[in-house]
Structure 1
């Protein structure tokens, strides 16, 4: 098993949540860190916490969607770390709401941060990683890249893409000693929910606490996955169940969406007519029957 002790590591999204916890747990392993995030003050807080472990920490406050950022990170790593052994692509943002109500700015931001940015950063850092006899990339994806749900289509697309990218990179570079892992946590108790993008006026709905996990658990499993060179790591029961449902019983998921369609039908008609229509058990049944006849 590959040991991370005293390695050189880049962590994105290090200012809070999973990224901060990754940084702290890595610092405890006496690594040399390069931390990247857009939130400068919180990033420095993470760096100071890591330095209590008496490790060297470099920071870069930058927008990962800026096309100059990958080159800046690569230069900092080469000059200050002298090379790179491990990359954690962790930064991400979320969106919850109907796709047709999503603004183009929100769409571009979600795709940029969650998918384009890790691809660009990885592309810039791969030459440094390949200089090592053994190196690794961990992409923090999501259970929403394993199976579909409603009202997060763009977020789903980025996570599906990131998992596919991880698998393709692994197939291409494993023979050169570069491993790649896709970590797919379920709901995590982080600030990602507070910063989530959504349509104006829509109420945020936090998932029940009993189906969530903590950044500490995700970070620990992500680090262990890198050491063990694992390919795919679902985290939380919801992630495991959803993954296996999509893999072996995709029709079961479709059935659930069809049932939701029957409930939504009279509501959609009311919205189109712009007149209030009472929703009753009878109206739901009638809507389902009429939809089936079509």
Structure 2
């Protein structure tokens, strides 16, 4: 069986989506510190430019290119990928990190909302991989990172679109891990737990969710996000260097993964009980 040597960061170009904040921002900083040149992609031009300026100031030797793109727009994704490939015929690393969330039961979200999540969380990474694979495999030792989620390990009620997209990305990653091995390209699937990022602020709530439940759902989602994104980024880059096939970040991902393995059908009931108990404890503490 083919065994890949450790990934070499220095002197190679890395493409990172969702680079304007959170995990993507810290992955970009970590890559620059390891000697990589960067192509950073995000839809938020102001935040993206600020990230790029901080990286340039901290790492003057790093080449940092920024691209503003709405990954919900299929044509924009293809244009972005083709432009990257034209300017960078060989890249070392592609990190598909950008993602969005949508709360609400399946019957509470519209088809347009569901498809918006799938477009950004699954279709965009798939298109980027497809168009950039020749560049990723142009030189030996390339690597692909797809950031799935805790909800690519378990599928709780109220996360039909998000879990569907993250399970799909997980499945694609696992297929590619086997298919790309002989060509010398490694694949890492990342399953973050509750990472302290802006995803709660940018999350949408399904149009059919009652108004009195919107704030409650957003607060509950935000309360789960406690793990530092800089630590998550370091764990991802360590996984890339070691060519790990899967990286689970934080106990909030590792414990549910274990329960899902031990109790393939009944794990969600137990997780729901534990989550409800934790929520009651948090509310009691806040009331004191």
TM-score (norm 2): 0.84
1:130 aligns with 2:144: no
Match of 1:165 in 2: 172
SS of the residue corresponding to residue 65 of structure 1 reads: coil
The match for 2:278 is: none
CA contact (8 A) 2:95 2:144 kept: yes
In angstroms, what is the RMSD of aligned CA positions? 2.1
Distance in 1 (CA, whole Å) between partners of 2:81 and 2:226 is 35
Residues 73-84 of structure 1 mapped to structure 2, 5 A cutoff: 73-84=80-91
Q: Which residue of 1 aligns with 2:200?
A: 193
In 2, Cα distance between equivalents of 1:258 and 1:242: 11
Deviations 1:235-292 (A, max 9, x none): 1112111111111212432544998xxxxxxxxxxxxxxxxxxxxxxxxxxxxxxxxx
Distance in 2 of aligned mates of 1:78 and 1:35: 14
CA gap of 1:132–1:42, structure 2 versus 1, over 3 A, is: same
TM-score by length of 1: 0.83
Cα separation, partners in 2 of 1:214 and 1:254, compared to 1, 3 Å: closer
Contact 2:144 2:188 in 1 (8 A): yes
Rounded Cα–Cα distance in structure 2 between residues aligned with 1:257 and 1:132: 44
Q: State the structure with more CA Rg.
A: 1
2:243 is the alignment partner of 1:229: yes
- Distance (Å, rounded) in 1 between the aligned partners of 2:206 and 2:22: 24
User: Structure 2 unaligned runs (5+)?
Assistant: 1-5, 274-288
SS for the counterpart of 2:177 is helix
Which position in structure 1 is the counterpart of 2:33? 28
1:68 aligns with 2:82: no
Identify the residue that residue 6 of structure 1 maps to in structure 2: 11
CA shift digits 1:43-78 (9 cap, x unpaired) = 111111111111111111111232333443334334
- Paired residues of 2:200 and 2:222 also in contact (CA < 8 A): no
- The answer to whether the 8 A contact 1:186-1:212 is kept is no
Unaligned runs of 5+ in 1: 260-294
